[in-house]
């Protein structure tokens, strides 16, 4: 699996879960001195804490903090700032965890709605919008040793590159590669040149190279290999009409929610791809939700082949480290398109312009733990809060979505035909009760009709 170099300078100390390229969040000297904190215990209330003068520039809404709580210490999230409290003898915040707020006010507003609408403690809602891999203070970016070329002021010191070619050819080979390709991981560099660490150390002693730790991003898409770029496909009239409606929704929110009711094979995914491309042209990001069972390599590959870079994947199949790094890519604005299962609806995409909920009727969009939300409904509410368009797609829309379209809350577009008017498959319903009777009480896996059809197809192969 490949690792990508995290953005920022080459060498730095990794002392917090925040991305390495984020600076301290300074807000001036007028910061209120009291913070309202949600601790990670499900008490469904906020607690007031004093902000020490040395932390005033760091404590803003959305940052993670360490606070005294009874006889213990707890981690929590700052959800508000004020200059007064109804309580006396307030305790002070002990520490700010990270260097940047992890929950932005727009996501915090969504969490508050989530808690109220689904009757859950607000701490549970905050926990839902913030992945465990991000909340865990032990999560870190992965580090590797990198080598970078150094050119001191006044030119390269003696013996220089020409002298190295005569006296130390392997050092010269390493230096030439670094000057040509830039900083490189030590392991890959040594393997490519065919040398040892002592060669690199010798360059460092000469002042021609620098060795240090570098954060790298774990890449869940690294195993997919290279992708073949694809171009937008020609659209059928019904597809073009649906895309035009979605484009209008992206630019003007008229309508704010579009229900794409299209039969299987009608080209809904191509509409999504071109709608996302349009949102990106407007400088806006996108979230694509698919059922967990549909989040296959083929699905991800289709989006990668169209958009190449700037895509993040968020789903339960990722390791904690991969989820940590993918979330921070989105939070830093490096990835502007997110593909994932239901929890991806909370991804902190910058300037969100479009949310797509594919197969919106699927029951897997329902969360079974508190808060027991439905990702489709959360997507609609997030669209309302962030003024972005929402597209719901299905061949068999849910009763709720179909009703909302009937009463005018959603705009429904219909795709009644498959692409190029290809014929729909013939469907026959077989009553398995007769199969059980014919099998003398045994329950067959396949009906006789299906077995005969399979044999006939194999005979034609």
Task: Please tell me the predicted confidence (pLDDT) of residue 11.
Answer: 30
- By the 10 Å C-beta count (0-12 exposed, 13-18 middle, 19+ buried), 70 is classed as exposed
Task: Please tell me the predicted confidence (pLDDT) of residue 43.
Answer: 84
Task: Say which residue, 275 or 42, is predicted with more confidence.
Answer: 275
Spell 320-359 as b/e; 16+ CB within 10 A means b.
ebbbbbbbbbbbbebbbbbbbbbbbbbbbbeebbbbbbbb
Give 394's contacts (C-beta < 8 A, 6+ positions apart): 259, 260, 261, 262, 358, 359, 360, 361, 401
Q: What CA–CA distance (Å, rounded) separates 161 from 149?
A: 12
Kindly state the helix (H) or strand (E) to which residue 97 belongs, with its residue range.
strand 95-97
HSE (side-chain half, CA atoms, 13 Å) at 118: 26
Kindly state the helix (H) or strand (E) to which residue 323 belongs, with its residue range.
helix 320-332
Chain centroid to Cα 282, Å, comes to 20
Q: What CA–CA distance (Å, rounded) separates 29 from 26?
A: 9
CATH number of 227-421: 3.40.50.300
Q: What CA–CA distance (Å, rounded) separates 94 from 59?
A: 11
Segments making up each domain of the chain, as ranges = 21-135, 142-218, 227-421
Q: What CA–CA distance (Å, rounded) separates 34 from 458?
A: 74
Task: Please tell me the predicted confidence (pLDDT) of residue 301.
Answer: 86
Give 314's contacts (C-beta < 8 A, 6+ positions apart): 131, 323, 326, 327, 330, 338, 339, 340, 341, 343, 344, 347
Chain centroid to Cα 27, Å, comes to 28
- By the 10 Å C-beta count (0-12 exposed, 13-18 middle, 19+ buried), 460 is classed as exposed
Of 111, 130, 123, nearest to 42 (Cα)?
A: 123
Least confident of 202-211, 244-253, 266-275: 202-211
Task: Please tell me the predicted confidence (pLDDT) of residue 419.
Answer: 87
Task: Please tell me the predicted confidence (pLDDT) of residue 293.
Answer: 77
DSSP letters of 112-133? HHHHHHTT--HHHHHHHHS-HH
Q: What CA–CA distance (Å, rounded) separates 121 from 41?
A: 10
CATH number of 21-135: 3.40.1440.60
Of 244, 384, 358, 254, nearest to 302 (Cα)?
A: 358
Task: Say which residue, 65 or 3, is predicted with more confidence.
Answer: 65
* Digit-coded pLDDT (tens) for 108-145: 999 999 999 999 999 999 999 998 888 876 666 676 78
| Three-class SS state of 221 | coil
pLDDT bin (cut points 50, 70, 90) of residue 107 is very high
Task: Say which residue, 456 or 441, is predicted with more confidence.
Answer: 456
Contact 212, 143 (CB under 8 A): no
Kindly state the helix (H) or strand (E) to which residue 36 belongs, with its residue range.
strand 34-39
Alpha-carbon separation of residue 344 from 107, 129, 143 (angstroms): 12, 9, 26
* Digit-coded pLDDT (tens) for 12-62: 222 333 333 333 333 444 545 899 999 988 788 899 999 999 999 899 999
Q: What CA–CA distance (Å, rounded) separates 352 from 336?
A: 8
Q: What is the mean pLDDT of the segment spanning 292-310? A: 83
Query: 152 — phi, psi (to 5°)?
Result: -65, 160
Look at the block and give the residue holding tokens 């040793």. Answer: 145
Task: Please tell me the predicted confidence (pLDDT) of residue 222.
Answer: 62
Q: Is the pLDDT of residue 3 over 60?
A: no
Query: 191 — phi, psi (to 5°)?
Result: -70, -40
Task: Please tell me the predicted confidence (pLDDT) of residue 195.
Answer: 87
* Digit-coded pLDDT (tens) for 388-445: 999 999 999 999 999 999 999 999 999 999 988 788 888 889 888 888 877 766 778 8
Contact 395, 263 (CB under 8 A): yes
Query: 146 — phi, psi (to 5°)?
Result: -120, 155
């Amino acid at each position: 699996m490949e690792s990508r170099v995290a953005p920022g300078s080459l060498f730095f100390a990794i002392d917090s879960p925040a991305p390495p390229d984020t600076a301290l969040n300074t807000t001036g000297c007028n910061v209120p001195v009291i913070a309202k904190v949600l601790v990670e215990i499900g008490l469904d209330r906020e607690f007031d804490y004093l902000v020490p003068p040395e932390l005033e520039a760091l404590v803003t809404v959305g940052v993670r903090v360490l606070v005294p709580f009874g006889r213990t210490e707890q981690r929590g999230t700052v959800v508000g700032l004020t200059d007064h409290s109804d309580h006396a003898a307030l305790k002070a915040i002990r520490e700010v965890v990270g260097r940047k707020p992890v929950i932005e006010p727009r996501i915090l507003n969504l969490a508050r709605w989530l808690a109220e609408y689904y009757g859950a403690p607000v701490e549970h809602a905050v926990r839902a919008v913030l992945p465990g891999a991000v909340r865990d203070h032990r999560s870190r970016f992965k580090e590797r040793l990198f080598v970078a070329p150094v050119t001191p002021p006044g030119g390269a010191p003696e013996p220089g590159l020409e002298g190295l070619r005569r006296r130390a050819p392997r050092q010269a080979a390493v230096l030439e590669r670094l000057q040509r390709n830039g900083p490189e991981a030590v392991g890959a560099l040594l393997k490519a040149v065919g040398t040892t660490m002592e060669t690199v150390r010798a360059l460092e002693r000469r002042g021609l190279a620098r060795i240090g730790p570098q954060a790298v991003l774990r890449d869940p898409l690294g195993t997919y290999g290279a992708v073949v770029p694809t171009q937008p496909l020609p659209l059928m009239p019904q597809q073009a009409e649906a895309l035009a409606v979605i484009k209008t929704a992206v630019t003007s929110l008229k309508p704010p929610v579009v229900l794409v009711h299209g039969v299987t094979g009608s080209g809904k995914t191509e509409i999504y791809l071109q709608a996302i491309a349009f949102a990106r042209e407007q400088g806006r990001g996108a979230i694509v939700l698919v059922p967990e069972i549909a989040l296959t390599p083929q699905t991800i590959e289709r989006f990668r082949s169209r958009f190449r870079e700037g895509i993040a994947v968020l789903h339960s199949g990722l390791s904690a480290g991969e989820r940590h790094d993918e979330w921070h890519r989105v939070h830093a604005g490096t990835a502007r398109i997110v593909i994932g299962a239901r929890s991806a609806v909370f991804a902190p995409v910058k300037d969100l312009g479009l949310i797509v909920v594919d197969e919106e009727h699927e029951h897997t969009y329902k969360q079974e733990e508190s808060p027991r939300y439905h990702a489709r409904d959360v997507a609609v509410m997030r669209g309302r809060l962030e003024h972005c368009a929402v597209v719901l797609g299905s061949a068999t829309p849910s009763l709720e979505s179909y009703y909302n379209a009937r009463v005018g809350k959603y705009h429904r577009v219909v795709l009644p035909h498959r692409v190029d008017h290809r014929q729909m498959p013939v469907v026959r319903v077989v009553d398995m009760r007769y199969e059980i009777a014919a099998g003398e009480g045994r329950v067959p896996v396949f009906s006789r009709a299906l077995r005969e059809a399979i044999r006939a197809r194999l005979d034609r192969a």
